[in-house]
Amino acid sequence: MNALWAILLMTLVAGLGNSPAMMWFFFAWIGAVACQRAKTFKLVRQGWREHSKYWGYPALAKMIPGVSEKASMMVVEPMICMIGGTLLCYIDTTLGGFVILGMISGAVVTGVEAELDRKAVMAMEDAEIDMQRRARAYRERKGGY
């Protein structure tokens, strides 16, 4: 579904910005997505499993030694988008602006997902406490074993 939204957004931006560079980016992106899907299908046939909302491995960002995957996604990747988008503005401002906006949206989505994960873990901890309390009540009702 994310890919469909991206196609719509890129087409809209390319049309409104009257940007040939954005159209080239669009076609390059389509090719990159097709290649990645082929790799994913191959891995799935080999038994690989991952969460349906997994964004992928931050390969470019992980080239920096000593940076965790989480830091790569939350800090390094947005910085790469910012620097790359700024440089692309010299070629085409629409394309550069689009990449810079990708930095903002990627950081926001990553932050929201981190908060959702934090809340899910907190709910699991609360459920554990509830079950311990209920187990104590059950043991007391059954004679304290």
Average pLDDT, the chain: 86
* CB atoms closer than 10 angstroms to residue 71: 15
**Residue 111 one-letter amino acid:** G
Q: And the tokens for 70?
A: 């989480």
- Say which residues have a Cβ less than 8 Å from residue 54's Cβ, sequence separation at least 6: none
- In this prediction the pTM is 0.69
pLDDT tens-digit map of 57-111: 777 777 888 888 777 877 888 888 899 999 999 999 989 998 998 888 877 887 8
Percent of the chain beyond pLDDT 90?
36
Percent of the chain beyond pLDDT 70?
98
pLDDT beyond 70 at 144: no
Which residue ranges make up each domain of the chain?
1-49, 59-145
Report, in angstroms and rounded to the nearest whole number, the Rg of the chain calculated over CA atoms: 22
| Mean per-residue pLDDT, 44-69 | 82
**Residue 84 one-letter amino acid:** G
Closest of 20, 6, 5 to residue 95, by C-alpha: 20
Cα first-last separation, the chain = 53
DSSP character for 61?
A: G
Report yes or no: 116 and 79 within 8 Å, Cβ to Cβ: no
* CB atoms closer than 10 angstroms to residue 26: 20
